[in-house]
Amino acid sequence: MMAQQILLVEDDREIARIIKDTLIKEGYAVIWATTGIEGLEDFFSGNYDLILVDWMMPEMDGLSMIEHIRLQSDVPIIMISAKSKETDKVTGLQDADDYLAKPFSLEELKARVRSQLRRWQRYNKVFAADEMVSYEHGLKIDWVKERIYIEEDEVNLTQKEFALLKVLAQNPFELFTKEALYTLVWHQVELDQTHTVTVHIKALREKLHDPVKSPNYIQTIWGKGYRFIGEQV
Amino acid sequence: MMAQQILLVEDDREIARIIKDTLIKEGYAVIWATTGIEGLEDFFSGNYDLILVDWMMPEMDGLSMIEHIRLQSDVPIIMISAKSKETDKVTGLQDADDYLAKPFSLEELKARVRSQLRRWQRYNKVFAADEMVSYEHGLKIDWVKERIYIEEDEVNLTQKEFALLKVLAQNPFELFTKEALYTLVWHQVELDQTHTVTVHIKALREKLHDPVKSPNYIQTIWGKGYRFIGEQV
DNA sequence: GGATAAAATATAAAGGATTTATAAAGTTAC
DNA sequence: GTAACTTTATAAATCCTTTATATTTTATCC
């Protein structure tokens, strides 16, 4: 397995050395830049899994650097700063994913790096492999194989039905208007295709044995849209 | 993976189509409103992660629309405008989170949308981490999922009921006249719609099992209005 | 302070408008 | 030709508003 690459942007030589040593011992590949400008150049010419950046630096501070990166990448960024006020934390977290106030322990550093890398991996994977999700009242969904079961019996969904269920079930409890569902499932700009959605919802409910009145899975929010309310087991 | 919903408020059909098309291809659900009024209605009856709004529009311009929204939500708002003067930008950024001067490239549009959505996710992670608010006497409100519980049992509120409760409960102990409630919930200025408010208050009280005489949640201030008096647990 | 009138709110019920569910007939694509 | 999808038409459900009436509170007068 390729070592994960970390870009460290820190002007203080001493601190940089400590961080670098720590992370290398953890098995990461660490590249060190001393200014924001240099960090940007390194970032765009390399392939990094995580960025550690100091807030206060000469030339270009960490915040501006992050803004630039964020226009083009969602790579995890951890901001390091001597500022520890709550308001600073909020500002820092605008574009960064995590915030580390100086002084910090090396254990905390390692933990946060690990956590962000894990999140990044999860984010990059479309679905977790062999992920079978079970819900109350007998529904099971295998997202990888795209198979649906009700009480152990497989139900065959059509393309649209599956796509609908996917949007809904992967965003549980989130309300979707019919228009939103249409653009998400059909990927088209059409007005007033809401009837199509309604009809597919009905078909889906039927196949899931989901009663309209007291639903286990797809709930109608009157005047607004639909949402998935299945609780995972 | 997370399906994100964007509300586009733009009166120009052509521009709207291009923007909508671009964002749908990026995988967002895009709902198009042609006026500020329509946009407001859509916003308050839907569940949006971002709003793109044109400054200049008939009926209600983008600025006024934003002001209304900001009374009740921190959703990211990007203002689109033909005005490119620095002072306009400052005005536009008063309540909006970002400003896009026409003409803009679609790449820039996508980048700014991405950036704002990321900020929003982060914000929600930090501030809305524990989303369930509990009050004395058994009321629990999940503002994110928009679910209400009384003693563990979910109660289904209608749109107006929920909107009313939201205004009241998110401003505890603040007195609202019926007229104020009407404009906040109905987004219209009508005279003498106070009866409508009264009736909805009654329905809400019933669903919350809140006695009129010795209320736990909604108190009548005779001759003045209503206020929410629930104490958080 | 108590009775009474006036004002405001609470309650109940009906009507209408809107939205969704359902059924069935077309249309498209393989 | 069949299955999936879309469109259309109709039925059913839900919510909002309005209206009417009852009740409660406040104000006023004696």
Report how far Cα A207 is from the mean position of its chain's Cα atoms.
31
A224 contacts B3? CB cut-off 8 A:
no
**Is the pLDDT score of A207 beyond 50?**
yes
Confidence at residue A126, expressed as pLDDT on a 0 to 100 scale: 43
| Residue B207: band (very low, low, confident or very high) from pLDDT cuts 50, 70, 90 | very high
| Residue B72: band (very low, low, confident or very high) from pLDDT cuts 50, 70, 90 | confident
A224 touches strand C (CB under 7 A): yes
Distance CA B159, CA B165 (A): 10
Mean pLDDT of B12-39: 90
As a whole number, the mean pLDDT across chain A is 86
CB proximity A93 to B under 8 Å: yes
- Copy the structure tokens of residue B72: 């009740």
Distance CA B160, CA B193 (A): 14
Interacting residues of B169 by C-beta distance below 8 A, sequence separation 6+: B141, B217, B228, B230
Mean pLDDT of B69-73: 86
B205 touches strand C (CB under 7 A): yes
Distance CA B142, CA B171 (A): 16
Residue of B nearest to A189 (CA): B21
Provide, in whole angstroms, the distance separating residue A186's CA from nucleotide C28's C1': 16
Distance CA A15, CA A177 (A): 51
Q: What's the pLDDT tens digit per position in B153-162? A: 999 999 999 9
B25 membership: H or E segment, kind and range: helix B13-25
Distance CA A184, CA A200 (A): 14
Provide, in whole angstroms, the distance separating residue B154's CA from nucleotide C13's C1': 27
Q: What's the pLDDT tens digit per position in A171-180? A: 888 999 999 9
Residues 208-227 of A with CB under 8 A from B: 222-225
Predicted TM-score of the model (pTM): 0.74
Confidence at residue B132, expressed as pLDDT on a 0 to 100 scale: 83
As a whole number, the mean pLDDT across chain B is 87
| Residue A128: band (very low, low, confident or very high) from pLDDT cuts 50, 70, 90 | very low
The answer to whether A47 touches A75, Cβ cutoff 8 Å, is: no
Q: What's the pLDDT tens digit per position in A72-118? A: 777 889 988 876 666 666 666 667 888 888 788 888 888 888 878 87
- Mutation test of the interface with chain B: which of A77, A184, A213, choosing the one with the most B Cβ atoms within 10 A? A184
Confidence at residue A127, expressed as pLDDT on a 0 to 100 scale: 43
CA-to-CA dists, residue A54 to A58, A73, B186, angstroms: 10, 18, 48
- Return the minimum-mean-pLDDT range out of A215-219, B75-79, B95-99: B95-99
Stronger pLDDT, B215 or B111, i.e. the higher one: B215
First vs last C-alpha separation in chain B: 35
